[in-house]
Amino acid sequence: MPAHLNEWLNLIIRWMHLIAGISWIGSSFFFMWMDSHLEEPKERSDRKKDVEGELWMVHSGGFYLVEKYLIKPGWVPDKLHWFKWEATFTWITGFFLLGVVYYMGGGLYLIKPESGISSGVATAIGLGALAGSWLVYDLLWKYVFANNAKVGSAVSFALAMGIAYGLSQVFSGRGMFIHIGAIFGTLMVANVWMRILPAQQKMIDATQRGEVPDYTPGIRAKQRSVHNNYMTFPVLFIMLSNHFPSTYGHTHNWLILAGIIVCGAGIRHFMNVKTPFSKAALVTSIAGLFGLFFYTAPPAPAPAAANSQGVSAEKVDFAKVQAIMQNRCVTCHSAHPTDDAFKTAPLGAMYDSPAQIKAYADKIKARVVDAETMPLGNKTGMTKEERKLLGLWIEQGATIP
């Protein structure tokens, strides 16, 4: 696909995905918030006798009154608004975005260069992981863990991290991260459509017939909505994670991801309920993020005398650095890229002149020396020695003539 068309497809779909995602997660946060702020009605007139709780709010020049009723036999409001299209639209746009960024374009963002798999195989693995995860998750929670949420959560988390580890063998860090995010997103949307909405519909149908609804599917549905609730923070992080190469570019990226998922869910737990345990979860999660900050830190530069890089500690000749940049980077990072897929410099980063290279020294260290996420998909075939040389040049102060 022409690079320019690809960029605009990416732009439009990403924009829609973000808007849909905000609408979905925003409305779900809002409902959670309302639920936790309901108060006993002040007066119990006839009309209000069944009100579970009420809430007054002010917004955009008016007062809003929300009254919560439980689903009871014999009465269904004439017009009901369902919240289902936000989730659906988020998934559809997300799926297309996954295709545009990761499955098309030869798997440049998706495949771990050393794994040597083709982009067709990588796509099949990715799609298989999405579908397979839902099947396994749904069956487990339907038949095995329905009454044992604690063990179920631990096993599900371990399975997710097993998938992360497995995918990290064939996918780039970004590719693996985004697939875990896409798996969580898929579980969330499938939960909405296949478990939560049908349960609500069944209860409403029963009340319409004047029967007392069977609340069991509702209880099961509640379990799935709790899962969705705890998956939101991790998913939101993953969707932003491609900006943070110290996470996905780390050698143990699946472990970093596991840590972030636990911390995200821990913070969410504190926002849901205020118990001694949830307070401890908050403190532990914040401490955990600090821990990850240190764990992902690049190694300290070795003392010049006993240089551990294995390269002689002699001053690196800038001409060598420039030659490497010219061969490995400038095909994309230039005012006039020659790459087949990138026609404008990615993120505006250009290395045509010595001053430009120097200005990017810190970022080059992060991407090329520490995380090794550049060149993208190692498309230009950069060697370990070249990475070491760039690292040494930066360590020595990144001087240019």
Tell me whether residue 268 or residue 333 sits nearer to ligand HEC (CB atom). Answer: 333
CB closer to ligand HEC out of 99 and 346: 346
Q: How far is the CB of 366 from ligand HEC (least distance, A)?
A: 7
Task: For residues 125 and 121, give the distance between their C-alpha atoms in angstroms, rounded to a whole number.
Answer: 6
Instruction: State the minimum distance, in angstroms, from the CB of residue 359 to ligand HEC.
Output: 10
101-106 own/partner pairs: CB under 8 Å, 24+ apart: 101/10, 101/178, 102/126, 102/175, 102/178, 104/1, 104/6, 105/1, 105/6, 105/341, 106/341
Preceding amide of 401 cis, omega within 30? no
> Which residue from 373, 189, 154 is spatially nearest to 181, judged by alpha carbons?
189
CB of 385 to ligand HEC, least distance (A): 13
Smallest gap from residue 374 Cβ to ligand HEC (A): 4
The residue sitting closest to ligand HEC, measured at its beta carbon, is: 329
Compare residues 210 and 348 and give the one whose CB is closer to ligand HEC: 348
CB of 252 to ligand HEC, least distance (A): 20
Q: By CB neighbour count within 10 A (0-12 exposed, 13-18 middle, 19+ buried), where does 352 fall? A: middle
Binding site for ligand HEC (CB under 6 A): 328-329, 331-333, 339, 342, 346-347, 349, 360, 363-364, 367-368, 374-376, 379-380, 382
Phi-psi domain of 17 (left: phi exceeds 0; alpha: psi -120 through 50; beta: other)? alpha
CA distance readout (Å), 60 to 18, 63, 64, 84: 24, 9, 10, 25
- The phi-psi region of residue 69 (left if phi > 0; otherwise alpha if psi is between -120 and 50; otherwise beta) is beta
- Sign of the CA dihedral with 104 first, then 106, 109, and 114 last: positive
Nearer to ligand HEC, 126 or 375 (CB): 375
Q: Which is nearer to ligand HEC, 263 or 366 (CB)?
A: 366
d(CA 389, CA 369): 9
d(CA 392, CA 371): 15
The least distance separating ligand HEC from the CB of residue 376, rounded to whole angstroms, comes to 4
Least CB distance to ligand HEC at residue 399 (A): 17
Q: Which of 401, 348, 351 is nearest to 380 (CA)?
A: 351
| Cβ closest to ligand HEC, residue 17 vs residue 328 | 328
- Minimum Å gap between C-beta 379 and ligand HEC is 4
Q: Least distance (Å) from ligand HEC to the CB of residue 345?
A: 8
CA distances, 352 to each of 42, 47, 158 (Å): 71, 74, 46
By C-beta, is 7 or 67 nearer to ligand HEC? 7
User: For the chain, what's the residue count?
Assistant: 401
CA 13 to chain CA centroid, Å, is 17
Residue closer to ligand HEC by CB (options 203, 376) is 376
User: Least distance in Å: CB of 173 to ligand HEC?
Assistant: 10
**Beta carbon nearer to ligand HEC, 190 or 329:** 329
Q: Which residue, 188 or 350, is less far from ligand HEC as judged by CB?
A: 350
For residue 176, which of 126, 131, 133 has the smallest C-alpha distance?
Answer: 126
Cα-to-chain-centroid distance, residue 265: 13
